[in-house]
Structure 1
């Protein structure tokens, strides 16, 4: 069986796929070669490559689109439904992504709060004028998106004695109690949720509802000198209001693992501000590779056996 592994620059994923599925042909496929390769593929693993209606329409042998991760925002789900092609992902819990991304989010919260980019510049200038940042200990943190990733972030923050505020699409009092959230808001009350929070961390999927979720009104509601961390998707935050908030001091700093266009341009003006940045690498670690590989292998085996797939999106 031919399995297309898109985004072949992610060589570590290709390697674990070949190790776990030795009986199948794993074909690393560049985006510009996808149209030629798709007609012979039975499984497509998108990774970071857009899978549009034309690709789905031309893939006459396609039986499954299986994401190696959570996000399927770059897959044309309507086109897949129209052809009856199942789309599945690897949820935060079973895949290990929740823990991996939460750990990375914690790094961003600390690095941005303690002004790590300025520390780097100070070191390069051979200066001892270190900046004074903000500590997580005893702080008030708003977690926007208390799902698989957000719940793990909440658990990691407990030792800091932080007051945790959650934002979730639907109310869930039991989850709020389990995680020790002081308050749990629905998304329509986001501006209320972020008030008085020194740190806000975003861990929501990119959907029509979350596109531009953090806009001028939300940023204006955050206290002066606060910190924003985004480990979800770049377009969840409106770009120009973010830059304005950094320039005005409304935001002390931002931690960004995701951007509006990726790969991000290193000359992007956002890097002229107090921004701790990483290249969409929050999940890139061993527990993600092991856990997600088990999810992917399991679904391919179920597909071959004619059994119901797990973690279907369509």
Structure 2
């Protein structure tokens, strides 16, 4: 039987950067619950540079992982960007350090559909002057401002799904 030191040596540690979008790490923990050799942690953004050296996988959420932070990631094998794109990761620095860079495909997260829905919501909010309308309702000035409609207009929303 292996001792705890051996177990820690064979543990894969996954770091989620920051408190934002907590469902991401909660989903990952739940998905990996039958794999006791994988540990999922989330730390405050300000702590990432100090602890990143203890992890093999890092999921970047709402921060920039630059060359300075990457230089501290001595055990890192994979940096992944949560959400769209990989602009939060210094790809050149990661590549020079032998760290693979990936993204979480939107098909797995529903992010592409969510972005398209948000675009529609924002278009409608702008047409209806949502912010001004909210103020008018609070001041009991119903019917002001008069917003626009989509009637007679053409709206095009491009949705790119890259897998």
Report the equivalent of 2:80.
Answer: 66
C-alpha distance in structure 2 between counterparts of 1:140 and 1:26, whole Å: 46
Shift of 1:59: 0.9
The answer (yes or no) to whether the contact 1:93–1:148 under 8 Å persists in 2 is no
Give the counterpart of 2:112 among 75, 84, 98.
Answer: 98
> Do structure 1's residue 16 and structure 2's residue 30 form an aligned pair?
no
Give the counterpart of 1:47 among 61, 68, 80.
Answer: 61
| TM-score normalised by L of structure 1 | 0.44
RMSD: 1.8
Q: How is 1:1-314 mapped onto 2 (pairs within 5 angstroms)? A: 1-22=12-33, 23=35, 24-141=38-155, 143=157, 146-148=158-160
Structure 1 counterpart SS, 2:104: coil
Shift of 1:94: 4.5
Shift of 1:46: 0.5
Deviations 1:196-218 (A, max 9, x none): xxxxxxxxxxxxxxxxxxxxxxx
**Structure 1 gaps, min length 5:** 150-310
Higher gyration radius (CA): 2
The answer (yes or no) to whether the contact 2:70–2:94 under 8 Å persists in 1 is yes
Structure 1 counterpart SS, 2:155: strand
C-alpha distance in structure 2 between counterparts of 1:128 and 1:32, whole Å: 46
Count of aligned pairs: 148
The answer (yes or no) to whether the contact 1:114–1:133 under 8 Å persists in 2 is yes
The answer (yes or no) to whether the contact 1:63–1:85 under 8 Å persists in 2 is yes
C-alpha distance in structure 2 between counterparts of 1:59 and 1:83, whole Å: 9
Shift of 1:81: 1.3
**Structure 2 gaps, min length 5:** 1-11
